[in-house]
């Protein structure tokens, strides 16, 4: 897919997901981890380039949202919960904006479903943190108590 359209984030996201699962399920191979990071970063970069274009904004938000959810998944697998929550929140915000602007963008609902599926496994603390407008403030309040 990358060879067909090197300026579109879809091919990079597909490759990122392959390498994320390969890394996760094939004994944490560093090459797969590096490839995941490379392809995800490129997908985000290409998505950001299309954000200012009104006709491509929903698509750009969709791909950036998925890429950030992938980052969240990656960081949760490394028990880096703050980064996992941060990236998941970024992804969730992008996908919510997609469906708010175009309720017929059905692929965005799949991304939102992924978020809700994984969030269901989290404790109440993490659920509260993920749904907050400002997750950093919620975390500080919880840590103080």
Asked whether residue 15 is domain-assigned, the answer is yes
DSSP 8-state secondary structure symbol assigned to residue 53: -
What is the total count of domains within the chain? Answer: 1
Task: Specify whether the CB–CB gap between 130 and 122 falls below 8 A.
Answer: yes
Asked whether residue 4 is domain-assigned, the answer is no
Residues 51 and 29: their CA atoms lie apart, in Å, by 34
For 83-105, what is each residue's pLDDT tens digit? 888 898 899 999 999 999 999 99
Asked whether residue 73 is domain-assigned, the answer is yes
For 23-49, what is each residue's pLDDT tens digit? 888 877 889 999 999 999 999 999 999
Domain that holds residue 48: 9-144
Residues 39 and 28: their CA atoms lie apart, in Å, by 17
């Amino acid at each position: 897919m990358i060879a067909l359209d090197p300026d579109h984030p879809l091919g990079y996201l597909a490759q990122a997901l392959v390498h994320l699962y390969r890394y996760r399920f094939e004994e944490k191979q560093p090459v797969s981890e590096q490839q995941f990071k490379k392809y995800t970063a490129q997908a985000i970069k290409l998505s950001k380039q299309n954000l200012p274009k009104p006709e491509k904004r929903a698509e750009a938000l969709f791909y950036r949202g998925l890429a950030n959810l992938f980052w969240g998944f990656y960081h949760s697998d490394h028990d880096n919960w703050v980064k996992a929550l941060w990236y998941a929140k970024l992804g969730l915000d992008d996908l919510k904006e997609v469906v708010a602007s175009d309720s017929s963008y059905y692929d965005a609902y799949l991304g939102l479903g992924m978020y809700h599926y994984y969030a269901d496994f989290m404790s109440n603390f993490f659920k509260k943190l993920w749904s907050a407008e400002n997750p950093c403030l919620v975390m500080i309040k919880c840590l103080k108590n």
